[in-house]
Amino acid sequence: MEHFRSFLEKVNLVYYSLDTQGTIVHSNDYFLSYLGYSREELIGQNYHDLLVPGHEREKRRQDYFKSIRTKQLNTYYERDLLTKSGQLKTLRWDCMFEYGPDGEIIGVTSVGKDMTDKRIAMEALKDNKIRLQDLFDNAHDLIQNISADNKFIFVNKAWKDRLGYDDTDIETLSLNDIVH
């Protein structure tokens, strides 16, 4: 575990370890700077009370205790953390149990990668797609997008209304079927 922790000090991944009560017992410097805490402010604090957004706190705390009790861990997931300044950060986590010398679970170690920018970009793309769809659907022009083999990828509402087709027709038709 010490070799693993040493390795994690050298990469831009956040890392922390919790004991079975959810107390933060280890973290790398990158995690500290990422959250804006000093080692003294973070180590020894309850992870859920300090870093989990309020509306998720109790559920995530209970899930953590359940995973310790049942010895079943969700090893890969995406979750939000609060920084010292109150900013919400999204991280993708990989987790594993940490075992003591007698094979008992003594805590959980988690390694995470920041996904905040990716989440923001995905939301912006989704918003742009909705706006573009709205523009196409409210246009009076007939708009279509076809593949190299003349299959329809997309047609707008005006296209379907004027030509008398519906979504199920579009799935089976090609441009050759409707153009002489």
pLDDT in tens, 137-178: 888 888 888 888 889 888 888 899 999 999 888 888 888 888
The pLDDT, as a whole number, for residue 126 is 80
Sign of CA dihedral 82, 85, 91, 93: negative
Arithmetic mean of pLDDT over the chain: 88
Residue 7 CB partners (closer than 8 Å, separation 6+): none
What average pLDDT does range 28-42 have in this prediction? 94
Residue 123 or residue 71, greater confidence: 71
Residue 120 scores a pLDDT above 90: no
Q: Quote the percentage of the chain above a pLDDT of 70.
A: 91
> Per the structure block, which two tokens stand in for 117?
């920018």
* Among 134, 154, 138, CA closest to 146: 154
Residue 9 binned pLDDT confidence (cut-offs 50, 70, 90): low
What average pLDDT does range 109-134 have in this prediction? 78
Residue 27 scores a pLDDT above 80: yes
CA dist., res. 95 & res. 15, Å (int): 10
Residue 38 scores a pLDDT above 90: yes
Half-sphere exposure of 127 toward its Cβ, with a 13 Å CA cutoff?
A: 6
CA dist., res. 28 & res. 36, Å (int): 12
The pLDDT, as a whole number, for residue 3 is 63
CA dist., res. 13 & res. 91, Å (int): 10
Other residues' Cβ atoms within 10 Å of the Cβ of residue 134: 10
